[in-house]
Every structure is written in structure tokens, then in C-alpha cells.
Amino acid sequence: MGALDTVVVVIAAESGGGSFLVSPGLGLMIWTLALFLFTMWVLNKVAFPRIAEALEKRANAIRDNIEAAERQRGEADELLEEYRGRLKEAREQADDIVARARKASETAKAEAASEGKSKREELVAAARRDIETETRRSLERIRKEVADLTVIATEKVTRKSLDDDDHKRLVDEALGEVDFSMLGGERGENGGGGGEGS
């Protein structure tokens, strides 16, 4: 709006005896409407498309992040199920080892009773050694499987390699979940001595 129009509006306001804001002149209204329409046209051509494009990009990025999180959650659930299955299998193997050890010990005791005290003691001692050796070997194998599964599952879920401290911590936590004390208790009943060697 030019200086001439401003002067005209002020003069018109003074001659009317009231404020030009309360009763604006026709010229001011036309210029205000023209400037508003021009501003809206500029915004519609320049600013609004960029704002809409930025909002669309942001919405797509959020949607992609949600889909990626859902995929990772599905993968984590699958790995957890596999991990639980392997743990169950390891426990079943441990139970089988205990049952075989008990059976071997009972067989050795029965044979020893029929062949005399000295022979019986030799067979029981040999059975204890065999049981301890087999138990140690099996425990090591089970611990290694649990540790390997824990590291693989963690690396897949977190999608990064683990350093030595993280690796050791995860292995210790995984081994803590498996109940190895049952094996020691069964061997203690059958043999009465010998520690777990691992």
C-alpha cells in the first residue's frame, strides 16, 4: 500500500470523526484483501508444497521405522522360541545322562555284590569314574551349546558383534538358567564323592 493511500485513509478517518480501524475505508479493505490473496497465492505455490512434502517424508520414515521394528520383533520371537527349544533339548539330554548313570551304577553294584566285596569296590570305583567323565563331557557339551545359542541369538537381535566382556556376561547368565545342580545331586547319591570338573 502506497504512501498516498495511507494519507487518504488517515484524512478520511479524521474527516469522518472516527478511527479508520473501526470504520475502514473501501480502499483499505480492497488493498488488505488483495495483499491477503497475494500472500495466500505465494504460500500455496511455494511454502505449502514443501511443507506437505516434508510431512509426507516424515510419515513415510515413521511408517518404515514401525515396520522395521515389527520385523525385528518377529525375528526376536522366533529366536527366543528356538532358544527355548534348544534349552529344553539340553535339559532332556541331561536327564538322560543322569538316568543312564544311575542304571550303570546299579548294574555295577549288582555285579559287584555277586563277585565279592573287593571286586564290587573296583567296579563301583570304575563306574564312578566313568560317570564323572561322561557327566563332565556332557556338561561341557551342553554348556557350549547354551553359550553358542545365547551369543548367536543376542547378535541377531541386537545386530552387532559382541566384545569379550559382553560375551562372557551373556554366557554366564545363560549357564545360570540351566539347572546343573541336579546332575551333581544325582551323582552325589550314587557315588558319594567327586566334584564336578568343568
Residue pLDDT, tens place only, 119-177 = 778 888 888 899 889 888 888 888 788 777 777 777 766 666 667 777 677 667 766 66
pTM, rounded to two decimals: 0.33
Whole-number pLDDT of residue 6: 57
Residue 78, C-beta contacts closer than 8 angstroms, at least 6 positions apart = none
Which of 5-9, 29-33, 39-43, 130-134 shows the lowest per-residue confidence on average (mean pLDDT)? 5-9
Closest to 125 (Cα-Cα) out of 174, 68, 192, 48? 192
Percent of the chain with pLDDT over 90: 15
Average pLDDT, the chain: 75
> Is the confidence at residue 186, as pLDDT, over 50?
no
Residue pLDDT, tens place only, 87-114 = 888 888 888 888 888 888 888 777 766 6
DSSP annotation of 192: S
Whole-number pLDDT of residue 94: 85
Whole-number pLDDT of residue 193: 44
Q: Please compute the mean of the pLDDT values over residues 4-11 and round it to a whole number.
A: 52
